[in-house]
Structure 1
Amino acid sequence: MRVIRVTADLAVPDLDEATAFYADFLGLDREDLGLDWVTRFVVPSSGEHVQLLTRDATGPQNPLLTVKVDDVDEAYAAARRHGYEIVHPLTTEAWGIRRFFVRAPGGVVLNIAQHHDPNE
């Protein structure tokens, strides 16, 4: 398994209110993900980004980080082999992501994810 990208996930009570801060004040570009509970703000010149979410759509709690990997099934098997707590089981979500949540040492919950092609 190889990590492709790490994204901070910040919980906010209202995405529209947060947009005023992240887009209007900081000047980040809003990337619409097509979901009403999460959005991404991107630094125009570099592509660095942060995701804001009100609540995770299917997970039992909000993750602090999303870690995109090239093989989520391998990552899931490795997490189980190491005995890490699986907070949300390996799931193929309706919005095209295959993912699971794992609790890292210290208690932080990570969303381990991979884009999923439904034709595969």
Structure 2
Amino acid sequence: MLGDMTIKRMDNVGIVVDDLDAAVAFFTELGMELEGRMPIEGSWAGKVVGLDGMRSEIAMMRVPGAPGRLELATYHSPKSITPEPAVTPSNTLGLHRVMYAVDDIEDTLARLRPHGAELVGEVTRYEDAYLLCYLRGPGGIILALAEELS
């Protein structure tokens, strides 16, 4: 019996970005809404993330009318670290990606390309159920898109 040990919900997924404005613009174009932006600093914040002298800014994005939030964070101090290689393949340990269900995958890609979106592989059909793809956004963020076929 789990009792009080159950998880209540998944609150958000956090992604570190180098350019917060560009990331907010990218996810706004995807269809998310900016819930708010705020600086995060102080000894309490550094203790949470294990970084002394930490100063950052976050932007909380939400899916309109649905659960699901994305916390975009940029670090002013200490500066963010770029992994080697800078563009990591899809099978990199610890790599994260966020999947979004969309109405029209080709239209979504067309809207995101001016914001730096590039396909990782190709748009692929899974049986007669979905069109799927992985794409990279600003700062190497990896997203997956799924269009349900009916």
The TM-score, its normalising length taken from structure 2, stands at: 0.35
More strand by share: 1
The TM-score, its normalising length taken from structure 1, stands at: 0.42
